[in-house]
Structure 1
Amino acid sequence: MLGKVFLWLFRIATGLVVLAVIAVALVYWFASRSLPDYDKTLRVAGISAPVEIVRDNADVPHIFGASDEDVLYGLGYAHAQDRLWQMLVMRWTVQGRLSEVFGPRTLKIDKLLRRFDLYGIAREAVNYQDEETLAKLRAYAAGVNARLEEINTSALGRGAPELFLFSAPVAPWTPADSIAMGKLMALQLTGHMGNEVMRARTSLALPDPDRLRDIMPDAPGGAIAALPKYAGLFPGLPRYAEGAGYSDDPLSPIRHPDFAGASNAFAAAPSRSAAGGTLLANDPHLGFSAPTIWYLARLELQSGGVIGGTIPGIPSVLSGRSDRLGWGLTTAYVDDQDVHIEQLNPQNPQEYRTPDGFRQFETRGSIIRIKGAEPVTITLRWTDNGPVLSGADYDLETITPPGHVASVSWTALEVDDKTVAAGIRLMSAGNIEEALEALRGTAAPAQNVTLADRSGIAMKTVGLIPARDRGHETEGRMPTKGWLAQNRWQGFQPYEQNPEFRDPPGGILGNTNNKTVDRPFPDHVSYLWGDTQRVHRWRRLMQSREVHTRDSFIEAQLDTVSFTARSLLPLIGKDLWFTGEAAPEGTPERLRQRALELLADWNGEMNEHLPEPLIYAAWLRALQTRLIQDDLGPLAEEFVHVQPVFLERVFRNIDGAAEWCDIRQSSPEETCSDIARLALDDALVWIEERYGDALESLRWGDAHQATHDHQILGEVPVLRHFVNIRQSTSGGDNTLLRGMTRGTGPNPYLNVHGAGFRGVYDFADPNSSVFITSTGQSGHFLSQHYDDLAQLWRRGEYVPMSLDADLARAANEGITVLEPLD
């Protein structure tokens, strides 16, 4: 009897194993059907002559055609081959249609995007494009659609394995979709609205509102403007109202203002170049994902070849070069958003107050369909100032008085938006002068464009800069009364007035998101800048040698030395170094001494293999928490990253900022040295709980792992090990090799935001230029090109950025020929 039971159990187990193997094989077979074939000939509609797509050994497509339209058709086809799922998710996001695919989890995201109506504005913007741009947008869309048609007619696994799990109809690509991609990028790259709300909340929470200039300081180097007390503008608001915080859903384009965008770009004139040609380096910083948002491509246009980083969905090289011109992007931090508090009519809440009395909201209903749930209808409302947002968006409810709603003015809401057109024109520019003219018409996102041609260098802020009234109540820094004329935008500053720098006498220019100009209000660019730290290290590296080379630019791009650590550690630890005799082993005092000994010999290099960066990062994090938690209460948890200028102000007692060191709830009067010592003990307890007390064996890279995670499948057990790309990395929040940390959660030091693309262009020998992305070209996790560039990127290596067609063909991985259907 037992033998029969065992036999049947064996048969059942064997059957289950066989079924599991068959199931896995079927899943693999269906998923692999969508792997693109790069070596083929395909007849398609919409091109005038054959288009050739040569894939080099890094899977970079080199696209050749008889016209620019045909070449952009080829780019659309290549984007859809490798990144279809990414393009669809981005389109669903900007359309406010994620819930149709992913269910209720994304309803809040959809509601916000519907209120902004970015996709509706993009559709209107199509009518403002010139015929040449429209022809190119249509050609690119036709290339995407040619791939969709091929997928449908040849049963190519729906084009992406994710579409088996999240079935959704795929509409044809249109020119409006590409314009909308630009507007989605503008949403991801601006943090001014969130910063305005945070300033208002902090002003309300602080016992002494004058201390706002400490915790949210202006970038050093200019006068600090007097700020109004927000409660004075809107009396009766609670001192602290708990907000919902920012979503950690990887599908959300809205992030904490600290992640509003960052980048490095710098250039050298021939006089500062060892080989006598201009140099340009660029590494734009965005949130990490698998695949990265960047896609490498080479286009052979009628004006010549261009090569660099593209974003699937947008038909242009955003950072790259031709034989004659190179260009790079950094977020300009233009103050491009203003929050307005709109007063409702007490007699009719369908009206809001204006300078001329109460006026009816412009309204429209919008139905959001939700997978697995009933549809939700929301009412979209607009004022003269812009769309009305929900109180749940950006925590606006915490600073909106009863009987009021919040609206937003934003440059990306302009329908006369030629940003994508400017990117297309830029690729054909032959020199700096032509490039500056091509960039006219850019609306949002505002960028500093660094340029280098064969003889000179330049940097120009492109994008709309709002014109504000001199009487603006908060100078655009905090929400204001939307019914006062002086708080409303007065149009935009002329393009010629945007900051511009040409051929500086020193032969070097660049930007690390630092303050570029210090104009007085209302001619200013911004009060909020993305960097007060990296620029110091960059300046030192640029000035440390008389002439530069491609390799010295690469060295600067990959530099991991923290100016912040070098400047702050002597300041906060000045009374702690080597004080007293060695404490007994095993005591907290001895652990503190060992940590201080390590930090005393450290040069500030945020190297993944060293223990000191983790000790330093944990100390500063604990220090800021101790300084602000009694003054800000629960709001302190929303300051998720260390603010170096705040710590410097406190420990130098600038304008009495040392007041932060005294804990208000305690009887003794604590000194800043007391708080520094207590914070170091806090940090060491945190480290010991997670990594043990062997400080010398700690590795920064164990905590600072780059998180290139799949937006959807990255959370699925087992599968996440195949789709996520995790790597130990160097760098940190304030190094040129920037690896911005998460700031929250059980491991706040995960590297979540940095340079997904790097490029260095040498015009003494253009074909010696190099570039890299942080994952690989393919978005298909079964492809060898899904992560083949990741380890090169981690090690600071690059691939050749050559326009030599013979070189691409010599080591090609396939050649796709698109032939006209007619």
Structure 2
Amino acid sequence: MLTWVGILLILLVCIAGGALWLTLPPRMQEAEIEGLSAPVEIGFDQDGIPRIRAASALDAATALGFVHARDRMFQMELMRRNASGRLSELAGPATLPLDRMARTLGLRRRAVADLAVQPADTRAMLDAYARGVNAWIEERGRFAAPEFLLLGAPDPWTAVDSLLWGKTMGLWLSENWHTEMIRHALAGRVDQSLIDTLWPTRTETIPPATAALPVRFAALGVPDDLARWLPRFPAPFTLPSTASNEWVVDGRHTATGAPLLAGDPHLALNFPGIWYLARIELPDQVLAGATAPGVPFLVLGRNRRIAWTFTNTGADVQDVFVETPAGPGSYQTPDGPQPFKVYEERIKVRGEPDEVLTVRETRHGPVISDLRDPEGPILAVAMANLQPDDTAAAGLLALNRAGSVEEAGRAAALITAPVQNLAVADHERIGLFLTGRVPVRKAGDGSAPVPGDGSHDWIGWLSGDGLPHVVAPESGRIVNANEPVRIPGNDAFLGRDAFAPWRARRIRTLLDASDRHTASDFARMQADVTSSFAQQILPALLAVPAEEAVEARAQRLLQDWDATMRIDQPQPLIFNTWVGQFYRLVLAAKGIRPDEGGPQPDFVAYVLTDGRDLWCGGDCTRLLQAARAEAVRRLRDRYGDDPAAWRWGTVHQAIFAHPILRHLPIVGPLTTAAIAAPGDDTTIDRGETNAALQDVHGPAYRGVYDLADLDSSLFVMAAGQSGNPLSGHARDFLTRWRDGATVTLGPTPKSTEASLRLIP
């Protein structure tokens, strides 16, 4: 009996193993795809990076769709489900908050409408890409990826699904609505002067403030905990709103006499990563760099004539409006009562009955307060990325085709969302343009909820040439790391809140060191882990008296520290733990939770300089001592009594985890990758932490583009090309990514380990 049971178990294991093995793509493959004009040849190099050779751009889009599906089909499935509000069909009630928000915002409904306004060539690219994805699905069925063995074959891909990627990025890279709701939650229980200094401000001329408004709304009973009902980073399927470094110099500052450009977008660290490297060769064009599974365009990279990259501008393109009820089913407008637009959404929930969600919209946008209390006060959100006629896809296509800095600028104007800083270089010149649309407000600065009576309505847009831009600056260089863009002669108001220039300050210091920069120099800069924030506030920390023995030893380690965040040092761990505790204590003393505060480094630097009187009563010593004591206590409990033996890399692990499977036993570890990582939130090589000081946000892709020889440009991404955890290319970039190593995407790889031929 036991023998037969054992044999049966072995057979089941073999069957399961065989099924999983069949989800891996073959090394040699030929596939027929309807609509191709000619055969497409694809070779995968030693890192699993495809080099696509196609006769036309449409054929290349089909091929890209096929290889994206080959390596990342389940990631693409989760992306479209997340944006469509259909995650709970797979994950059950745990993802209902995400589904409710996606349905309330109507991301898919708006993508369907946007498809109709895409130019014919953009629509053709989207359709060609979908044909490639669907060819993989039709050929592989439930073997398209390991996850589909249990879920069944994925539904066919559509052009609308590709537009959902842009909708998702537009939402998460513009997070002002959360900040508005937090300000409202603080109003009435925290002094307004404290609220005003929680977030740094831009230096542009700010329109009349709306500081008194939240108090008035508090009296109306507007829920002050709505912000906690809205999904927010680092929750799965969310992104941080501040991200990325970019710098570009012209030939006066390089060894070759041609421009150099560097860019590394900072996004959530997931498994698999958001980016997918590829090289695409056409008879009259070459594209190389970072693609995004689900999208038929190159998002970051270079063509034959230009190179480009993005950072987030941080523009305020979201406003919360408090509407006035006007009887059942209506609300008040300047033209009298108007009915809500009403949509009924049915959300399927795995293991539970369907949930029916009633979505209301006003003239400003979706009613987000219904997520908390449909019977309470009415809060509607206006978002630029939810506005009609979104042509971001057409803008990316135009950018892929651009042959000069000026043409890239015209493409930027077509990318309607999100608002990004586009740095670009051609063989002679450099430039910076802002993408997206920024609302012009009738009144107010957009920092807090405002009345929906028309007094604070959006009355127009800043876009294209109306936004800051520069071509061939006199300095010969452009730097941005999410700090405000300031161009002489353009005082466009982009929002009240801003981020401090910690990374930009360090980038400029390194650029100042030479006028003979090379691509390798820029790659080393991207891996730099010196913190200008630590350099600034260390004197304040070192001035705090220390009497307890272990605290004194820990503090002495900081005295000769060079402010580098290396994994083999104790100082970054001591510093970041101390600063984190100080941040919490300062806020707690005023009745503010950590999740209600502004950016930690920016706020701490302010408190230790201009904010001492307001936040510390003139002297922060007591709070700094208490924070140090708590930090050292926690570190001693975990790592022992010798501060010199503590190590940043022990704690600061870059975590690449699957957004759903990470929580499952056995499967979770197979879909999670971790590696000790240098840097912190203020270094060029960014490693923003969660509450446990794990690295969850950083440069998932780095590119350095040499306009003297674009084929020698340098790239790296994390964690690997494949989303299949059984693949050898699921994690093979991790160590190189951590250590600042790079690869090239020239026409000839070192070796070809797989080949694919697509035929009409």
User: CA 1:75 to 1:717, structure 2 compared with 1: closer, same or farther past 3 Å?
Assistant: same
SS in structure 2 at match of 1:417: coil
Does structure 2 retain, via aligned residues, the 8 Å contact 1:231–1:237?
no
With 411-420 and 310-319 compared, the bigger mean Cα shift is at 411-420
User: CA 1:293 to 1:101, structure 2 compared with 1: closer, same or farther past 3 Å?
Assistant: same
- Match of residue 631, structure 2, among 676, 683, 686: 683
State the alpha-carbon separation in 2 of the partners of residues 238 and 380 from structure 1.
21
Gaps of 5+ in 1: 1-10, 584-588, 663-669
What does 1:617-628 correspond to in 2, within 5 Å?
617-628=576-587
User: CA 1:534 to 1:379, structure 2 compared with 1: closer, same or farther past 3 Å?
Assistant: same
Q: CA deviation digits over 1:196-229, x for unaligned, max 9?
A: 11122233331x2112232223157988975513
Q: CA deviation digits over 1:504-556, x for unaligned, max 9?
A: 11111021001113899993012223443212111211112223111221121
With 214-223 and 301-310 compared, the bigger mean Cα shift is at 214-223
With 318-327 and 227-236 compared, the bigger mean Cα shift is at 227-236
Residue number in structure 1 paired with 2:353: 374
How many angstroms does 1:358 deviate by?
A: 1.7
Residue number in structure 1 paired with 2:20: 31
Answering whether residue 719 of structure 2 is matched by residue 736 of structure 1, we say no
SS in structure 2 at match of 1:600: coil
User: CA 1:719 to 1:365, structure 2 compared with 1: closer, same or farther past 3 Å?
Assistant: closer
Does structure 1 retain, via aligned residues, the 8 Å contact 2:347–2:354?
yes
What does 1:25-424 correspond to in 2, within 5 Å?
25-152=14-141, 157-165=142-150, 167-168=151-152, 170-206=154-190, 208-219=191-202, 228-236=211-219, 241-242=224-225, 244=228, 247=231, 252-254=236-238, 259-345=240-326, 348-392=327-371, 403-424=376-397
Considering only CA atoms, is the larger Rg found in Structure 1 or Structure 2?
1
Does structure 1 retain, via aligned residues, the 8 Å contact 2:688–2:697?
yes
State the alpha-carbon separation in 1 of the partners of residues 219 and 523 from structure 2.
54
How many angstroms does 1:169 deviate by?
A: 5.5
Residue number in structure 1 paired with 2:659: 711
Does structure 1 retain, via aligned residues, the 8 Å contact 2:519–2:706?
yes
State the alpha-carbon separation in 1 of the partners of residues 411 and 282 from structure 2.
16
Q: Which amino acid aligns with 1:200?
A: H
Does structure 2 retain, via aligned residues, the 8 Å contact 1:265–1:281?
yes
Residue number in structure 1 paired with 2:550: 591
User: CA 1:91 to 1:763, structure 2 compared with 1: closer, same or farther past 3 Å?
Assistant: same
What does 1:260-659 correspond to in 2, within 5 Å?
260-345=241-326, 348-392=327-371, 403-469=376-442, 472=443, 474-483=444-453, 485-517=454-486, 523-576=492-545, 589-632=548-591, 635-639=592-596, 643-654=600-611, 657-659=612-614
Q: CA deviation digits over 1:121-144, x for unaligned, max 9?
A: 111111101111111111111111
SS in structure 2 at match of 1:490: strand
How many angstroms does 1:38 deviate by?
A: 3.8
With 381-390 and 225-234 compared, the bigger mean Cα shift is at 225-234
Aligned residues: 759
Q: Which amino acid aligns with 2:53?
A: F
SS in structure 2 at match of 1:135: helix
TM-score, normalised to structure 2, is 0.95
Does structure 2 retain, via aligned residues, the 8 Å contact 1:518–1:524?
no
Q: CA deviation digits over 1:561-600, x for unaligned, max 9?
A: 0111110121243243xx7xxx6xxxxx111110111011
Q: Which amino acid aligns with 1:288?
A: L
Does structure 2 retain, via aligned residues, the 8 Å contact 1:262–1:530?
no
How many angstroms does 1:751 deviate by?
A: 0.4
Q: Which amino acid aligns with 2:18?
A: W
SS in structure 1 at match of 2:322: strand
SS in structure 2 at match of 1:438: helix
State the alpha-carbon separation in 1 of the partners of residues 706 and 488 from structure 2.
34
SS in structure 1 at match of 2:330: strand
Q: CA deviation digits over 1:216-262, x for unaligned, max 9?
A: 2315798897551344432526799556466589874346xxx2130
State the alpha-carbon separation in 2 of the partners of residues 225 and 509 from structure 1.
31
User: CA 1:20 to 1:218, structure 2 compared with 1: closer, same or farther past 3 Å?
Assistant: farther
SS in structure 2 at match of 1:752: strand
Q: CA deviation digits over 1:665-707, x for unaligned, max 9?
A: xxxxx83112211211111011112222221111111111011
How many angstroms does 1:327 deviate by?
A: 0.5
Residue number in structure 2 paired with 1:750: 694
How many angstroms does 1:350 deviate by?
A: 1.1
Does structure 1 retain, via aligned residues, the 8 Å contact 2:42–2:755?
yes
- Match of residue 751, structure 2, among 797, 808, 811: 811
How many angstroms does 1:61 deviate by?
A: 0.9
SS in structure 1 at match of 2:439: coil
Q: Which amino acid aligns with 1:814?
A: A
Does structure 1 retain, via aligned residues, the 8 Å contact 2:206–2:445?
no
User: CA 1:592 to 1:223, structure 2 compared with 1: closer, same or farther past 3 Å?
Assistant: farther
Q: CA deviation digits over 1:633-688, x for unaligned, max 9?
A: xx42314776233223322244xx423224xxxxxxx8311221121111101111
State the alpha-carbon separation in 1 of the partners of residues 597 and 723 from structure 2.
31
State the alpha-carbon separation in 2 of the partners of residues 597 and 468 from structure 1.
52
Q: Which amino acid aligns with 1:488?
A: D
Does structure 1 retain, via aligned residues, the 8 Å contact 2:200–2:498?
no
Q: CA deviation digits over 1:294-347, x for unaligned, max 9?
A: 1001112343111000110011111101231100011111211111111112xx
With 432-441 and 60-69 compared, the bigger mean Cα shift is at 432-441
User: CA 1:641 to 1:614, structure 2 compared with 1: closer, same or farther past 3 Å?
Assistant: farther
How many angstroms does 1:189 deviate by?
A: 1.4
Answering whether residue 577 of structure 2 is matched by residue 660 of structure 1, we say no
Q: CA deviation digits over 1:719-764, x for unaligned, max 9?
A: 322221000000001111001111x3xx2x0100111111111112
State the alpha-carbon separation in 2 of the partners of residues 475 and 250 from structure 1.
27
TM-score, normalised to structure 1, is 0.88
State the alpha-carbon separation in 2 of the partners of residues 35 and 250 from structure 1.
30
Residue number in structure 2 paired with 1:3: none
SS in structure 2 at match of 1:376: strand
Does structure 2 retain, via aligned residues, the 8 Å contact 1:309–1:320?
yes
Q: Which amino acid aligns with 1:407?
A: A
State the alpha-carbon separation in 2 of the partners of residues 797 and 59 from structure 1.
17
User: CA 1:646 to 1:482, structure 2 compared with 1: closer, same or farther past 3 Å?
Assistant: same
Answering whether residue 724 of structure 2 is matched by residue 780 of structure 1, we say yes
Paired-residue identity, %:
32
State the alpha-carbon separation in 1 of the partners of residues 662 and 536 from structure 2.
38
Q: Which amino acid aligns with 2:729?
A: H
How many angstroms does 1:117 deviate by?
A: 0.7
State the alpha-carbon separation in 1 of the partners of residues 79 and 667 from structure 2.
22
State the alpha-carbon separation in 2 of the partners of residues 468 and 521 from structure 1.
17
Aligned-residue CA RMSD (Å) = 2.4
Does structure 1 retain, via aligned residues, the 8 Å contact 2:412–2:422?
no
State the alpha-carbon separation in 2 of the partners of residues 168 and 277 from structure 1.
52
User: CA 1:509 to 1:792, structure 2 compared with 1: closer, same or farther past 3 Å?
Assistant: same
